[in-house]
Chain A
Amino acid sequence: MFMEHLSNGIALGSIYALTAIGFTMVYGIIRLINFAHGDVYMIGAFLTYTGLTLFNMPIALAFLFGMAGASIFGIAIAKFAYSPVFKAPKINLFLSAVGMGIFLENFAMLIWGPETQSFPNVINNKVFSFLGIRVNTIQLIILGTTIVLVAILTYIVQYTRIGRAMRCVSQDMDVSRLMGINTNKIVYFTFGLGSALGAAAGTLVAIYYKAAYPMMGYVPGLKAFIAAVIGGIGSIPGAMLGGIIMGVSESLGAGYISSGYRDAIAFIILIIILILKPEGLLGKGIKEKV
């Protein structure tokens, strides 16, 4: 039993990690809790669903279609809802994000319908068992996809020109602008990249549970934030670590304590972390500006 909960938790955790990375990247650059991130995740899943059912794409192509579509959504959101309020007090930016999240949920409800859509069975699920550990194909695919995507992301952030510019902007936006970096472009690029990762996570969840519904992004969006806080907000390895911790603890908690309180576990972890170590496990303390 324990091993099953564990493998389930790692699969879930890597999905949380993917969502949290996109989230933490945006936070690192514009210090905004992107409330719409969970909903971009949902849009990604629905776009993949549309690609599969309406256009009869093969799964890999539909997956890319979902990621690309969601990143366009992400950039559009940044452009229309966030950049006009970018210079305003922070609460305005935050409420704009909340409003965008509500809009996307209900937009999806209007377009794809409020009921749960059953996701087509795209992967032949087999259960492998070795050394007493039982894992199935979907869990392996989730883990594999996460590793590949994170490797690509690490390459982009660490070794490319635009990645270097992203790291600069997250250090100090004004100075980066003085150094000739087009910060707007970097912000949009970050939104696009983060949204694509979120969409990948959403699609993987939809494949895992064989379901997609308009509210599917709300709780994972909050959990992505929690995972990012656990790991230290703004830090990409931290977001991964936080995601895995959350996935495993949730899976174990649901298995051994009570499944009714599954979603509460994440919030309890958040409150404990905020009280004990508010800068997160891998985060650096941020000095409060006066």
Chain B
Amino acid sequence: MGNISRVLLNLILYSGILYLGIIVLSKVFDLGTKKFMNLNNKNRKVASLGFLVLGALLPLVLANNTYALRTSVLVLIYIVLALSLNFVLGFAGQLSMGHSAFYAVGAYTTAILTVTYNVPFWIALVCSGIVSAIFGLLLGIPTLRLKGDYLAITTIGFSEILRLVLINWASFTRGPAGIPGIPSPKIFGYTISSNTGYYYILYILALLTIFISYRLLNSRLGRGLVAVKDDEVAAEAMGINPTFLKILAFVLGAAIAGLAGGVFASFIHYVNPDNFTYMESVVMLTMVVLGGVGSIPGIIVGATILTILPEALRGISTYRYAIYGILLVMMMIVRPQGMISMSSLKGGAKHENSRS
């Protein structure tokens, strides 16, 4: 109790720095987005390709720095997770707060299949995606009839129930002890055990997710989803089936989170229920919100910042989650559209400021 003034002082200090950081970065990103959107089509393609190559070359640059490489693998995992949550939150506009459940399902599927049943990693990984998608479907059908707050609480409920099952069903999941010894993937007889290998697996997964996101957004289904998000009743009147689209987005998000979970399990070679708590869902949510709900580049930036920041600030790690909380509140007050907002990417309408 005696350290109350020190705690308060530190919190104010760190929040202040963070606040300035957000403002400055947002301005920079705003400028950058504007520049990028003003490029002509060909230059835009060249710039995107440049980013792709940079991403692919990163492990070669960091080859000697294990710690940085490991962090960048984590960054990629969170990028995939945040993008998968974006299918539900950004495209369909459904507030799901139990996304770590699908991550857990994926990780445990890979763990159990590879360790208990000796299934090769790649098949187990595909199964992770499928099992997560089935879970997404089973949870989506009853819950997506609910709206807003109810949906949020029900998804939290499902993820809590799943966590309790993981803890209590000890004969199958080994309970709180977790499952150790998850093998590394093999490809053409070569075992991928280095961080660089995992980096490339996740890089491909991230690119795949980004590709699906863009394809979905520019397809008939994606436009339908955006319509449902903006006004469900009007969308239904236009002949769109909102339930189908919402469930589709939910299942897709769940499947990708499951894949990320499978790779994660193999990456750290160990899963236990504590890896998949409610906080994990909140972290993903914060990434999406910080970057800009619905905006794909924004979410990549958000996930990167929120994974690197805690690593960079090891010294104040006790303040980490408190700062996450303040960050979430602050973002909602000063910049609810996120750092790179969807509307500024489209060059379209300003952030809508009405209460629905």
Is chain B a partner of chain A in the same complex? yes
Interface of A toward B, CB cutoff 8 Å: 33, 50, 54, 80-81, 84-85, 87-96, 98-107, 109-112, 218, 222, 225-226, 229, 258, 260-261, 263-264, 266-268, 270-271, 274-275, 278, 290
Query: Does A96 contact B329, Cβ atoms closer than 8 Å?
Result: yes
Main secondary structure of the interface of B (DSSP, over half): helix
A residues near B325, Cβ cutoff 8 Å: 99-106
Q: Are A96 and B164 in contact (CB under 8 A)?
A: no
Interface 1/0 per residue, B161-193 and A, CB below 8 Å: 100110110000000000000000000000000
Is B233 on the interface with A (CB-CB < 8 A)?
yes
Inter-chain contact A222/B152, CB cutoff 8 Å: no
Residues of A within 8 A of B324 (CB): 99, 102
Interface residue tally for chain B (C-beta within 8 Å): 51
Is chain A's binding surface mostly helix, strand, loop or mixed? helix
Q: Write out the residue numbers on chain B whose beta carbons fall within 8 Å of the beta carbon of A91.
A: 95, 148
- Name the CB-closest residue of A to B147: A288
Contacts of A102 in B (CB 8 A): 279, 282, 321-322, 324-325, 328
Give the contacting residue for B355; candidates A89, A100, A258; CB below 8 A.
A89
Query: With A and B bound together, what is the CA distance between A217 and B331 in angstroms?
Result: 24
Task: State whether B153 touches A103 (Cβ < 8 A).
Answer: no
Q: Output the nearest chain B residue to A35 by Cβ-Cβ distance.
A: B152
Contact of A96 among B146, B318, B333 (CB under 8 A): B333
Query: Of all chain A residues, which has the CB nearest B293?
Result: A91
Q: Which residues of B contact A89 (CB under 8 A)?
A: 336, 352-356
**CA–CA, A258 and B150, complex, Å:** 27
The answer to whether B322 and A106 touch across the interface, beta carbons within 8 angstroms, is yes
User: Are B164 and A264 in contact, with the CB atoms below 8 A?
Assistant: yes
CB distance from B155 to the nearest CB of A (A): 10
Stretch among B1-9, B20-28, B305-313 lining the A interface: B1-9
Residue among A92, A222, A267 making CB contact with B332, cutoff 8 Å: A92
Q: Does B75 contact A (CB under 8 A)?
A: no
**CB pair A103 B322 closer than 8 Å:** yes
Contact of A95 with B285 in the complex, beta carbons under 8 Å: yes
The reply to whether B321 and A105 contact each other, CB–CB distance below 8 Å, is yes
CB pair A99 B327 closer than 8 Å: yes
Point out the residues of chain A lying under 8 angstroms from B286, CB to CB.
99
Instruction: Kindly identify which residue among A88, A105, A106, A270 contacts B336, using a CB–CB cutoff of 8 Å.
Output: A88
Are the C-beta atoms of A260 and B3 separated by less than 8 Å? no
Q: Is the CB of A87 within 8 A of B355?
A: yes
Q: Which residue of A lies closest to B156 (CB)?
A: A222
Query: CB of B160 within 8 A of chain A?
Result: yes
A260 contact set on B, CB distance < 8 A: 164, 167-168
Whether B355 pairs with A111 at a CB distance below 8 angstroms is no
Q: Is the CB of B146 within 8 A of A274?
A: yes
Knowing A107-B11, A268-B161, the reply to whether A33 touches B329 (Cβ < 8 A) is: no
- What is the bound-complex CA distance between A87 and B327, given in angstroms? 20
Query: How far is B322's CA from A278's CA once the two chains are assembled, in angstroms?
Result: 34
The answer to whether B1 touches A50, judged by C-beta atoms less than 8 angstroms apart, is yes
28 contacts between A and B (CB under 8 A): A33-B149, A50-B1, A85-B332, A88-B332, A89-B336, A90-B356, A98-B282, A99-B286, A99-B332, A102-B322, A102-B324, A102-B328, A103-B326, A103-B329, A104-B325, A107-B11, A110-B318, A111-B4, A218-B278, A222-B160, A261-B168, A264-B165, A267-B154, A267-B161, A268-B161, A270-B154, A270-B157, A271-B157
B289 touches A (CB below 8 Å): yes
Min CB–CB distance B213 → chain A (angstroms): 20
